[in-house]
Amino acid sequence: MSIHKFPHNFLWGAATASYQIEGAWNEDGKGESIWDRFSHTPGKITNADTGDVACDHYHRYTEDIALMRTLGLKAYRFSTAWARVFPSGRGCINTKGLDFYDRLVDAMCAANLEPFLTLYHWDLPQALQDQGGWTNRNTAYAFADYAAVMTKCLGDRVRNWTTFNEPSVITFIGNLTGEHAPGIKDTKISYQVAHNLNVAHGLGVQAIRSANSKVNAGIVLNLWMAEPATEATQDVEAANNFWDVNETLFLDPIFKGFYPPAVYEAIGEKMPEIKDGDLALIAQELDFVGINYYSRNVISASGKMNKIPGSAYTEMGWEVCAPALRRMLVKINSEYKLPPIYITENGSAFQDTISSDGKIHDPERTDYLRQHFIQTHLAMQDGVDIRGYMVWSLLDNFEWGHGFSKRFGMVRVDYETQKRTIKDSGEWYAEVIRTNQVRE
Ligand code: FCB
């Protein structure tokens, strides 16, 4: 049996996001966000679920931080709800909203957790959406103001700042397929959104740094490795092209300073308006990059394959393929000059059942994590500089369009009673953290 021993300062953690766990959607002066609006619109979310209460974390954060201590986490990745702090997106600060994050961060520090703060995990203030949202370049300036206020207030305790979580999901699921808020379905708009997000990222990094020169700034990108169905040249070319068109829209401008030629070819005149200086603004040097990895796409010359024979799938219908994580990390590490990497999300949804002993035995989730930890360790041995790992997710939570029907947590949440129960995978993770190693 081989043992994968991690460096002593490797940061093991867990991740969540404001809308998915906080609840208290209209308390203490919070403004409406696009996710409040979207989930309150009939027909958008499975079972008409909403994040109105979710895990009620707004009121139960002390208990949740105690859980993190029980698990022995060293880091906690969370996001702040822009509309809690600026109910209309800009202008007057809602001090009660800011106070919540102030208390939350204090509680993390008291529990010896390294905070990783994400400024934008998809919950844009509705008031800004009413003025065009991310299609309006002014939203990028409002974002930079919000970033500055948050950094001034929390930068003395929060060292790691992320501008955006998964800009490609905002772009394509929010504005091309319309399955996420704000529910727009328009190719031209989606690419304009992508560019404005990139601009907002650049402005955000500048704002964070001028508010506090000591903190680290980065971004979190979700990447699905693209792999050929066979070794035939046509499949390999199709997979490479799929990667270039679908996965490099943020990697290239941020780490190379230009938009990928393959995207120009695919999109043509629907490419966004780019102003002079934008590309330099976007390519700010970063202190870290977060990578979210869940699965891969398998591509043949005739398109994307639906089911891979012999592969296991999660409840999301995503193939379990940990070796593709290693291959992808090695690939991006050789193609880009990257800062230190954190795996900022990785995890799986499975149908959990409560056993007669009251426990949640979730061997598939444990096995999923084990495989991905091992492949990450192998990538580190290949020379990729990976500093930490945030499991998605600490708690079962509101899984966007799927509502509460998909459970990703290492801790079960009973949404009727708000009772938390650590699943077997959580116990297993605690042991990984304690020993700082994974056994094959
Ligand atoms: C990612 C999101 C996260 C969660 C996981 C399952 O795309 O960042 O909020 O929904 O997927």
pLDDT at 164: 99
CATH of domain 3-247+284-439: 3.20.20.80
Q: What ligand 1 atom has the least distance to the C-alpha of 20?
A: 9
pLDDT at 1: 77
The segments of the chain whose pLDDT lies below 50 read none
The residue annotated as part of the active site, out of 32, 345, 364, 399, is 345
Interval between CA 158 and ligand 1 midpoint (Å):
22
pLDDT at 121: 99
Interval between CA 309 and ligand 1 midpoint (Å):
26
CB 433 within 8 A of CB 71: yes
Q: What ligand 1 atom has the least distance to the C-alpha of 169?
A: 7
DSSP string, 169-237: HHHHHHHTS-SSTT----HHHHHHHHHHHHHHHHHHHHHHHHH-TTSEEEEEEE--EEEESSSSHHHHH
Q: What ligand 1 atom has the least distance to the C-alpha of 166?
A: 8
Question: Model confidence over 58-85: pLDDT tens digits?
Answer: 999 999 999 999 999 999 999 999 999 9
CA atoms of 189 and 175, how far apart (whole Å): 7
- From 169, 344, 392, mutation site for ligand 1 pocket: most ligand atoms within 8 A of C-beta: 392
The residue annotated as part of the active site, out of 166, 227, 247, 319, is 166
Single out the residue of 9, 65, 21, 14 nearest to residue 398, CA to CA: 21
Active site residue 399: no
Q: How far is CA 66 from the centre of its chain?
A: 23
pLDDT at 161: 99
pLDDT at 101: 99
Interval between CA 307 and ligand 1 midpoint (Å):
22
pTM score, two decimals?
Answer: 0.98
Question: Ligand 1 pocket: which residues have CB below 6 Å?
Answer: 17, 20, 165-166, 169, 222, 292, 345, 392, 399-400, 408
Interval between CA 408 and ligand 1 midpoint (Å):
9
Interval between CA 76 and ligand 1 midpoint (Å):
15
Peptide bond into 253 cis (omega under 30): no
Q: What ligand 1 atom has the least distance to the C-alpha of 17?
A: 9
Interval between CA 124 and ligand 1 midpoint (Å):
16
Active site residue 166: yes
172 burial type by CB count under 10 A (0-12 exposed, 13-18 middle, 19+ buried): buried
Structure tokens at 269: 């005149």
CB 81 within 8 A of CB 30: yes
The residue behind tokens 């955000």 is 204
Q: What ligand 1 atom has the least distance to the C-alpha of 347?
A: 6
CA atoms of 80 and 106, how far apart (whole Å): 14
Which residue puts its alpha carbon closest to atom 9 of ligand 1?
17
